[in-house]
Structures are given as C-alpha cells and as structure tokens.
Amino acid sequence: MILKHSNFSEGVHYFEMMKSCTEIGLAEPFVGDVLLKCKLDRSVYQIIIDCDLEVNAEFVCDRCAEEIESTLENHFQNVYIFGKESSEESEDNIAFLHADTDKIDLTESVIEFANLAIPMKILCKDECKGLCFSCGKNLNVSKCKCKISSANNVWEPLKQLKKKLN
C-alpha cells in the first residue's frame, strides 16, 4: 500500500486505501480486502500517519471447532522525518525520508499489525460451550447424554493421605 506523500500539502488530510489481501501479501487466515483509514499530518519536518486497519479472517473456534469469519481491527501510527538517517537507535514506528523520496510504503506495517490483531484465543462467541470431551458432540447445538464424573482419580492418593493426616 504505497502512498505518494508529495501529493499532500502541509496540514491534516484524511484518506482511505483498500487492497485485497493477496495483493499485499497477507496469507491465511486473512481473506477479502484490507481497509486502511488514515489521517496524515504533514509539516515541514515530518509526516505522521495514524491508521485504522480492518481485515477479514477465517478461523476455527478453539472450543467447538466451528468455522467462523471475523473482522479484525487494529490501530498504528508511523512517523516519517525528513532528512538523513540518524546514527542513533530509533523506535520501530519512526523512519527517515530522504529528500528525493516522494512515496511511503505502508505494506510492511499493514502486514505486521494485521498479524498482531489475531486473537490469542479464537472463539465463535464468548459463551461458547465447546465439545463434550466424552462423545465429541457440539454443546452449542444440543446437550449430550454423557455422564460426567467430577472426581478425578489422579488426586485420590492425596485425598487418602489427607484423611490419614486429619
């Protein structure tokens, strides 16, 4: 997602960019288009770009194994400073632009923040009941008739020891 910053005058500008996931190199689980809503603040010395990212992804629920499609959102900000690159260590979201450069490539940031938007635990809904560990039936669809024992035999020796100590 390349932005030609020389087209913008000094001040604040708003724009949107949309590209397909395959065009920018976003692989599975991402599908469809990537929408980038940006606010560009240009001054004599720097450009600050605030972006809101929206992308669709297809997952499998971690509890019930149902396929789901979800819209992922993330926000990022990049700062571009005009001039020669500094010899000092800079932060990840700060880059230096040479005077001859008139384009900014946001593709790497889009890929990075799309991947960071993937949740650690993927659920079809917050109250997902999952699968019965005995028969494998999806408990969101219907109840099963399995008898679930609450006692765990692994802890039985400790329970016996506790009785002896009391």
Q: What is the pLDDT of residues 41-52, one digit of tens each?
A: 988 888 899 999
**85-89, 91-95, 110-114: segment of lowest average pLDDT:** 85-89
**Domain count of the chain?**
1
Identify whether 80 is part of a domain.
yes
Spatial CB neighbours of 17, under 8 Å, sequence gap ≥ 6 = 1, 3, 35, 36, 38, 106
Q: Please, what is the Cα angle at 94 between 27 and 31, to 5 degrees?
A: 15
Identify whether 30 is part of a domain.
yes
Identify whether 97 is part of a domain.
yes
Identify whether 24 is part of a domain.
yes
Identify whether 136 is part of a domain.
no
Find the helix or strand (DSSP H, E) in which 116 lies.
Answer: helix 107-116
What is the rounded CA–CA span in Å between residue 52 and residue 35? Answer: 8
- Tell me what pLDDT residue 94 has: 82
Cis peptide before 29 (omega within 30 of 0): yes
* Domain extent for 121: 2-128
The structure tokens listed for 76 are 């990022």
pLDDT at 85 over 80: no
pLDDT at 58 over 70: yes
Could you identify the residue written with the tokens 């949740």? 119
pLDDT at 56 over 90: yes
